[in-house]
């Protein structure tokens, strides 16, 4: 697997090049905008770059669509019956935290604490299951705030999870956990990585689609 950046009129396209026993080149994009170019062995870099450029308009169009899906929605209503997601379902604010006699800033602060505490508990319980199945163990696990990632794994084997995952259904949370744990085995998004993810979460593409479609609702 090779990472490549290609300049087009609309900007720069980043993609993974996957070489294999195939006759034709093909370009694929998943629900979150990850681009994979599957190419025949020994195909020149020049041909690959030209193929990406020729499809540049289509690629950028799809990336723009995904970006729009991830835009921040209208401001939340911090009142008793304001709606917020928890484990994939909508709840009124007063069902998640105490709201009586509290101003908006205090409500927002307390709701964030609720999600961080819930996410820490959920991740702590669920990650043990998949660590055992995959035969791996991260050196550290941290719950963080992020506007761009649901999870990450670095070369030091430290895994982080976005506290907003507590707003997602449990099976989607499980997918993100498995995704990051699999990076302890395969740091790149190569074929072996996705095969390992799929061995635990066969319908992982549906989980990606959920995050792409509804991720922008999972906000404070």
| Domain coverage including residue 62 | 2-69
**Spatial CB neighbours of 49, under 8 Å, sequence gap ≥ 6:** 4, 6
- The string of pLDDT tens digits covering residues 203-219 is 998 899 888 878 888 88
Handedness of CA 189, 186, 198, 162 (dihedral sign): negative
Distance (Å, whole) CA 200 – CA 134: 9
In this structure, the strands spanning 158-162 and 140-144 are parallel
Report pLDDT for 107. Answer: 92
Domain termination site, one of 15, 47, 69: 69
Report pLDDT for 34. Answer: 78
Helix (H, G, I), strand (E, B) or coil at 25: coil
Report pLDDT for 72. Answer: 54
Which has the closest alpha carbon to 220: 164, 144, 161, 151? Answer: 164
Domain termination site, one of 44, 69, 94: 69
Report pLDDT for 109. Answer: 94
DSSP secondary-structure letter at 215? G
Query: At 95, which CATH number?
Result: 3.30.2010.10
Q: Which residues are 143's β-sheet partners?
A: 161
Residue 109 and residue 44 share a domain: no
Domain termination site, one of 69, 101, 125: 69
Residue 188 and residue 112 share a domain: yes
- Residue 33 falls in which region: left (phi positive, over 0), alpha (psi -120 to 50) or beta: left
Tell if the pTM clears 0.75, that is, is over it.
no
CA angle 88–92–97, rounded 5-degree value: 95
Q: Provide the domain count of the chain.
A: 2
Helix (H, G, I), strand (E, B) or coil at 134: helix
Residue 179 and residue 153 share a domain: yes
Q: Which helix (H) or strand (E) holds 113?
A: helix 104-134
Distance (Å, whole) CA 116 – CA 126: 15
With DSSP H G I counted as helix, E B as strand and the rest as coil, what are the percentages for the chain, rounded to 5? 45, 20, 30
Residue 185 and residue 113 share a domain: yes
For residue 76, tell me if it sits in a domain: no
Residue 140 and residue 61 share a domain: no
Q: Consecutive 10-residue runs of the chain (220 residues): their mean pLDDT?
A: 82 88 89 83 92 91 75 67 87 92 91 97 97 95 91 93 96 97 91 94 90 84
Residue 207 and residue 117 share a domain: yes
For residue 127, tell me if it sits in a domain: yes
Rounded to 5 degrees, what are φ and ψ at 16? -100, 135
Residue 89 and residue 54 share a domain: no
């Amino acid at each position: 697997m090779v990472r490549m950046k290609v300049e087009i009129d609309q900007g720069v396209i980043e993609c993974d090049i996957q070489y294999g026993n195939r006759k034709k080149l093909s370009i694929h994009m998943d629900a979150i905008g990850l681009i994979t170019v599957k190419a025949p062995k020994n195909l020149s870099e020049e041909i690959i770059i030209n193929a990406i450029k020729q499809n540049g308009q289509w690629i950028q169009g799809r990336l723009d669509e995904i970006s729009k899906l991830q835009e921040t929605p209208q401001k939340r209503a911090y009142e008793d019956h304001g709606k917020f997601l928890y484990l994939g379902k909508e709840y009124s604010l007063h069902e998640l935290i105490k709201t009586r006699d509290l101003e908006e800033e205090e409500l927002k602060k307390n709701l964030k604490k609720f999600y961080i505490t819930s996410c820490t508990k959920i991740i702590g319980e669920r990650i043990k299951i998949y660590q055992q199945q995959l035969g791996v163990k991260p050196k550290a696990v941290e719950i963080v705030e992020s506007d761009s990632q649901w999870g990450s794994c670095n070369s030091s084997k430290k895994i982080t999870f976005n506290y907003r995952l507590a707003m997602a259904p449990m099976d989607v949370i499980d997918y993100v956990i498995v995704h990051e744990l699999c990076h302890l085995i395969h740091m790149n998004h190569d074929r072996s990585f996705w095969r390992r993810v799929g061995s635990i979460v066969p319908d992982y593409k549906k989980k990606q689609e959920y995050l792409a479609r509804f991720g922008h609702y999972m906000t404070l």
